[in-house]
């Protein structure tokens, strides 16, 4: 069921969004056991990643999505999603993430913790480095850009160099080491975003100024 759903989603997404991949050679040949850390602009981000990377995925999804519609629930469950209750304050998402990686799955995580409506990459949360450290897993930085095209959107996905576990290893009792490791991942994603915008000659979005032709990726959810 998983492979069938993934294949169908991949075909549909490639046709509808004309997905283009930069640095495809940096996608590891590993079937699983690592983390994909990606910027977050749309609810479509997880299937966008799954459309171009082979393997079995797991990803966190807000608990409300599991009660939104039976079809949505069916799809995300069979695509490896597990629920996260915002504000619950427990470590269940961390445990579930580590378990998924240990089962040789690819964990797709969005370290900003929430979608960016203006394209600006936010501060990285510490969860990604906690998971990487506990699972002894490397992290693959990824950046997605949604580009308006004839009242539709085209998608470009850029892949960076895999960050080895030893480069982001942390002391869980040392907040500074956690911040530094999270920044290491954030910097890698930010560099990929610069590459994506440099390709078209557009300025990278900032809080003060956004590219005139760039609209919020929020529309990609529709």
Look up the CATH number of the domain holding residue 154.
Answer: 3.40.1130.10
pLDDT higher than threshold 50 for residue 85 = yes
Chain-wide mean pLDDT for the chain?
86
pLDDT 10s digits, 180-190: 999 999 999 99
Q: How many domains in the chain? A: 1
Main-chain phi, psi angles of 31, to 5 degrees: -80, -20
Task: Flag whether 211 is in a domain.
Answer: no
Q: Is 51 helix (H, G, I), strand (E, B) or coil?
A: coil
Q: Is 29 exposed, middle or buried (0-12, 13-18, 19+ CB in 10 A)?
A: exposed
Query: Domain for residue 219, yes or no?
Result: no
In a domain, 87, yes or no: yes
Report if residue 221 sits inside a domain: no
What pLDDT sits at residue 208?
A: 67
At residue 161, the pLDDT reads 97
Structural domain range at position 127:
2-200
| Strand ranges, E, within 80-138 | 81-84, 106-109
Greatest C-alpha distance within the chain: 51
Of residues 152 and 127, the one with the higher pLDDT is 127
Flag whether 215 is in a domain.
no
Pick the range with the lowest mean pLDDT from 42-46, 193-197, 210-214: 210-214
Q: What is the pLDDT of residues 103-122, one digit of tens each?
A: 999 999 999 988 898 899 99
């Amino acid at each position: 069921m998983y492979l069938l759903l993934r294949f169908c989603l991949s075909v549909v997404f490639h046709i509808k969004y004309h997905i283009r991949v930069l640095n495809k050679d940096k996608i590891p040949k590993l079937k699983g056991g690592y983390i994909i850390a990606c910027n977050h602009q749309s609810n479509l981000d997880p299937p966008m990643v799954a459309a171009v990377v082979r393997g079995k995925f797991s990803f966190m999804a807000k608990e409300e999505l599991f009660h939104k519609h039976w079809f949505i629930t069916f799809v995300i469950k069979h695509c490896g999603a597990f629920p996260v209750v915002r504000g619950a304050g427990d470590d269940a998402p961390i445990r579930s993430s580590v378990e998924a990686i240990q089962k040789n799955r690819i964990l797709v995580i969005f370290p900003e913790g929430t979608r960016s409506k203006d394209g600006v990459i936010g501060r990285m949360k510490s969860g990604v480095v906690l998971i990487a450290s506990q699972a002894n897993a490397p992290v693959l930085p990824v950046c997605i850009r949604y580009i308006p095209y004839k009242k539709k959107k085209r998608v470009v996905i850029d892949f960076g160099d895999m960050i080895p576990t030893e480069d982001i290893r942390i002391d869980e009792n040392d907040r500074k080491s956690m911040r530094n490791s999270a920044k290491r991942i954030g910097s890698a994603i930010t560099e990929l975003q610069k590459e994506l915008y440099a390709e078209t000659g557009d300025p990278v979005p900032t809080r003060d100024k956004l590219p005139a032709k760039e609209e919020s990726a929020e529309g990609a959810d529709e």
